[in-house]
Structure 1
Amino acid sequence: MWFFISLPSFASTAETEVAVWPAKTSYRFVTVEGKRIFYREAGEQHKQTIVLLHGYPSSSHSYRELIPLLSGRYHVIAPDYLGSGYSERPDPAIQKYTFNLLAEHVSGLLDTLNVTRFTLYIQDFGAPVGFRMLLNNSYHLEALIVQNGNAYLDGLTPARQTFFKAANKDRSRQKLEQLYTFTGEQAIVNNQYLRDVQAAPEKMNPDSWSHDLHFLHSEKDRLIQVQLLQDYYNNVLDYPLWQAYLRKYQPPTLIVWGKKDPAFIAAGAQAYLRDVPNAELNLLDAGHFAVEEKPVEIAKYITHFMQQLIKGDGRH
């Protein structure tokens, strides 16, 4: 199987890219701070590296279609966070899960692999993980790709802001039980994956939620995600720090945002332009899991963006 990417509608002048074969994806583990971290890797390491950070309630599995579309041209790494997918999952009664913890382990993975320069793709939970990495390692970033990953209050409705604050502040048994229900099968299938594709549910591969639910089968697994939902409000409080980072460093930025997402609304995509006015903004006819719905379209945008990045650096 090969992929021919033609981009006349994505560039100011029509251009046709050379067809490329995808590279074989490898499935690996490394030990970071004594914990086994799983990651998918494809492509040649001397090429540009793209690091794909997944959201909730998923894992690197969510990029199973995007990776082959990119791996013929780029070195691609997609990790599972500590506590997600195939990565180790310490008992949440002993190990408190926070976004700082997840970021530390992804950074440790990249350090172990000697990845010193990369483009970061952030989606959902991937945004707080990614920005925490960048605040500690700003010199590593080559470019930023944002897909339904919030860094602005504009992207959260007042009701959702209230939800995240209550999840953080209210530690009652009743609130814990409510958050726990969000990690169950009905919530994952209908309130996550199928929520935004009700008119065409066949777009969503059932492997998506089947894979996620496999790793949410125990109470401990679900409580890991509950702890992250409780911690999410700290991300909201840190938004100004992330915005200051964008203003200071002005990273080349591509935004590919599913505009039908009612959780992280499209105003959150447009808000990035306040701090990185030269960012490329594309609102897709998709929902929160846009990479599940439109992986080819997203790959086209990324390919064109990355090629412009090379030209801008004067690299060949």
Structure 2
Amino acid sequence: MALIRYRTMNTAAAEIFYRETVPEVVEGRPPILLLHGFPSSSHQYSGLMHRLGREFHMIAPDYPGFGQSRDVSPPGAFVYSFENISRTIEEFIDKLSLERFVLYVFDFGAPVGFRIAARRPDLIAGVIIQNANAYEAGLSDAARRLVSIPRHDEAGLKELDGLLTLEGTKFQYFTGVADPESISPDGYTLDQLYLDLPGRKAHLIDLLLDYKSNVDAYPVWQEWLWQASLPAQILWGRNDPFFVEAGARAYLTDLPNAELHLFDTGHFALEERLDAIAPLVAGFVNRLPKFVTS
């Protein structure tokens, strides 16, 4: 098994908790920065890190307001938006002195990671995209409805609040999976524990209401993808209730040489298809040019 260290780092907004592998051999491979989704945290990558962490340097932070990260700014000082979270993770990257890395994004990881990449494209050696949307074609009807909810819509806010219940969390974990008995209860139970911490749900409602800012930013991210022409791997649970298969295929417009792998599972593809995904990730990173630090 991989050797994993559990660490914290102080940023202006939060004490960021993160998991970091200590590989036996790196051999010039770029590190992998794993950015988690909703309603999860870095724990969603535990299985992948245990599988690949002896071979690769892997880093998975918890965003402000997620997982084990703790707010350090005065109450109300940090506005929970995707822009602000991306700035905090960018500060985290700089404090770790990460000069170039593979960006692995899932779900909320796209609006966090792609904002950073568009600002600082030289950081990104390659990108792995797992059920992380950047195209309007990838939004299901349910996602389009949720994205359009305004702050003053009481019925809409109630619907968003339902996503933060145990039933809503389990819906994301189980919808579209081929074998429900393969889904460990540990993941969604831990997610819900974090969601139920004081103040967390209000922050997440703010983020869900801010998701429309990501749709507005899709053209910017698409331009970055096209201009950067990066090595890319797309991993997609094709039965995702929010981000549909068309979103995976849309990436090929701007990344025509990307690897595309579709799986008969749902949103949290790693929960059911880790055995298939781990070797694909390893193969992709091993094929990248050797990483040389300055």
TM-score scaled by structure 1? 0.86
Alignment correspondent of 2:245: 266
- The corresponding residue for 1:195 is 175
Q: Any residues of structure 2 matched to 1:121-200 within 5 Å, and which?
A: 121-166=104-149, 169-189=150-170, 191-197=171-177, 200=179
1:88 to 70, 81, 90: 70
Shift of 1:284: 1.3
The equivalences for 1:1-316 within 5 A come to 22-33=1-12, 35-44=14-23, 47-89=29-71, 93-166=76-149, 169-189=150-170, 191-197=171-177, 200-218=179-197, 220-310=199-289
Structure 2 CA distance, aligned partners of 1:195 and 1:182?
13
Give SS of 2:116's match: helix
For 2:109 and 2:199, how far apart are their aligned partners in 1? 22
Separation in 1, partners of 2:274, 2:192? 22
Query: d(CA) in 1 for partners of 2:143 and 2:2?
Result: 40
Rate the CA distance shift 1:159–1:196 in 2: closer, same or farther, 3 A: closer
Deviation per residue, 1:210-235 (Å, 9 max, x gap): 11111122451111111110000110
Checking the alignment, whether the CA contact within 8 Å between 1:47 and 1:73 is kept in structure 2 is no
Amino acid at match of 1:86: Q
Output the CA distance in 2 between the equivalents of 1:218 and 1:144.
32
Cα distance in 2 between the residues matched to 1:249 and 1:229 = 29
Unaligned runs of 5+ in 1: 1-21
Quick check: 249-258 or 29-38, which moved more?
A: 29-38
Counterparts of 1:290 and 1:184, CA distance in 2: 21
Cα 1:98/1:92, change in 2 over 3 Å: farther
Shift of 1:200: 2.2
* Alpha-carbon RMSD: 2.1
Helix, strand or coil for the counterpart of 1:74?
coil
CA separation of 1:248 and 1:291: change in aligned 2, threshold 3 A: same
In the alignment, is the contact (CA less than 8 A) between 1:27 and 1:41 conserved in 2? yes
Preserved CA contact (<8 Å) 2:174 2:266:
no
Q: How many residues align?
A: 289
**Alpha-carbon shift at residue 176 of structure 1 (Å):** 2.5
In the TM superposition, residue 310 of structure 1 has moved relative to its aligned partner by 3.0
Residues 100 and 129, structure 1, Cα contact 8 Å, conserved in 2: yes
State the Cα deviation string for residues 21-65 of structure 1 (Å, max 9, x = none): x43110000001152000000034764200111110000000110
Unaligned runs of 5+ in 2: none
Separation (CA, whole Å) in 2 of partners of 1:289 and 1:139: 29
CA distance in 2, matches of 1:264, 1:91: 35
CA contact (8 A) 1:259 1:286 kept: yes
Structure 1 residue matching 2:147: 3-state secondary structure: helix
Change (3 A) 1:116 1:213: same
Amino acid at match of 1:41: E
Q: Bigger radius of gyration, 1 or 2? A: 1
Instruction: Specify the code of the residue in structure 1 equivalent to 2:172.
Output: Q
Q: How far, CA to CA, are the matches of 1:47 and 1:247 in structure 2? A: 24
Distance (whole Å) between structure 2 residues aligned to residue 202 and residue 162 of structure 1: 30
Would the aligned equivalents of 1:149 and 1:264 in 2 still touch at CA under 8 Å?
yes
2 CA distance for matches of 1:285 and 1:310? 31
CA contact (8 A) 1:91 1:220 kept: no
SS in 2 for 1:23: coil
Q: Which fold has the larger relative contact order, with Cα–Cα distance below 8 Å and residues 6 or more apart in sequence?
A: 2
TM-score by length of 2: 0.92
Q: What is the Cα deviation at residue 72 of structure 1?
A: 1.5
Give the 3-state SS of the residue equivalent to 1:78 in structure 2.
strand
| SS in structure 2 of the partner of residue 294 of structure 1 | helix
Give the distance between the partners of 2:190 and 2:198, measured in 1 at CA.
Answer: 17
